[in-house]
Amino acid sequence: MLSLVRCAAASADDKKASEPLIIDVGEVFAISDYFVIASGASTRQVHAIVGGVEEGVRRIGGPSPVRLEGVDECEWVLMDYGSFVVHVFKQEQRDFYQLERLWGDRPLITWEPNLHSEVEPA
């Protein structure tokens, strides 16, 4: 599963997302193990990041999101994959909600750009 999470972050990075990161929330958040957080400069870029994440995860054999919220506005899009959640913000919304600060005591997970192209399909 961690390979899917890392792929989501790398796929966001491929679409020039700002500061994609992965937070391990598993020990304190019962319904998800990881959050991927990324942002775009415009609603158009947020939409592109969301599409890139969906495509990247699917490319390595991952599922489609169980739930997708906020796509119409593209200010804060939540992509619920069950065991992990991808939050794609417009930069102003990311600055306002500061999820990184809220979950600041949780460990960050490392990932590498272009990881999705190196991972074997599940």
Least confident piece of the model among 13-17, 26-30, 39-43: 26-30
Would you give the DSSP letter of residue 107?
A: P
Q: What is residue 113's predicted lDDT score, i.e. its pLDDT?
A: 80
User: Using CA atoms, how far apart are residues 118 and 41, in angstroms rounded to an integer?
Assistant: 28
Q: What is residue 56's predicted lDDT score, i.e. its pLDDT?
A: 95
Asked if residue 45 has pLDDT above 90, the reply is: yes
Q: What is residue 27's predicted lDDT score, i.e. its pLDDT?
A: 85
Which among 98, 14, 73, 22 has a CA at the least distance from the CA of 48? 14
Measured in Å, how far apart are the chain's first and last C-alpha atoms?
A: 9
Q: Strand, helix or coil at 77?
A: strand
The two structure tokens encoding residue 74: 């593209």
What residues form DSSP beta bridges with 108? 23
Q: Strand, helix or coil at 96?
A: helix
pTM exceeds 0.85, yes or no: yes
**Residues of 13-35 as b/e, b for ≥16 C-beta within 10 angstroms?**
bbbebbebbbbbbeeeeeeebbb
Residue 49: count other Cβ atoms within 10 Å of its Cβ.
Answer: 28
Asked if residue 63 has pLDDT above 60, the reply is: yes
**What's the CATH class of domain 2-111?**
alpha beta
